[in-house]
Amino acid sequence: MAAKSLRQNDGQVLKDAVFARMGVIIGWIGIFLWTLLALGGFSTLFARETHENPADYYMPYVCVVLVGLHIWRLVSSKRKNCLIRDFRSYCAILAHEPDKSIPDLAATLHLPVEDVEKRIKAMCDRHYFNGYFDFARKRLVFSADTDGRTVVHCPGCGAANAILTSGDACRYCGAPLSIKH
């Protein structure tokens, strides 16, 4: 199976990659600018003895909060970049693994199985793979491997399930599932 058939669509991965790169750039620019404004605000705050305008007092603290938000943006964008990088390396390995076993993938990558499971689950949640993660058998199940089943996402919890007919229940939360035609 080629690596391209493992993916649901390259559009989601590409979109996430573009937004992650933009988030890193915007994060660094925001951190730099809001830090400069905060430092300038604190220097004027401490240089004056009287403050006629209440904004002189609150503005540096608002800038510090905005620096924190841009740090959060930067960290989340870097995590998304790592997930995309891992996805690409996992695809290259899984394309040559006939059983798509997570323990085999973890052994190949020299990583703990729990870490690989967590990353695969995040990739499935982001709809990078055309399939779902089977926790019981510790393997990825792709649409081509589902024996006539259709992979649908639960409206209740969002988990991927392979079902034969509409009306089957989600194996995680029990919500009824339907196949969209």
Ranges of the chain whose pLDDT falls below 50? 1-5, 7-8, 146
58 within 8 A of 108, measured Cβ to Cβ: no
4 within 8 A of 142, measured Cβ to Cβ: no
Q: What is the pLDDT of residues 34-69, one digit of tens each?
A: 999 988 888 777 776 666 777 777 888 899 999 999
89 within 8 A of 78, measured Cβ to Cβ: no
| Predicted pLDDT of residue 82 | 92
80 within 8 A of 16, measured Cβ to Cβ: yes
Give me the residue spans of the domains in the chain.
3-129
CA 17 → CA 12, 76, 78, 84, 131, distances in Å? Answer: 8, 12, 10, 7, 21
Segment holding 151, helix H or strand E: strand 150-153
Distance CA 117, CA 133 (A): 8
| Predicted pLDDT of residue 2 | 40
| Predicted pLDDT of residue 143 | 59
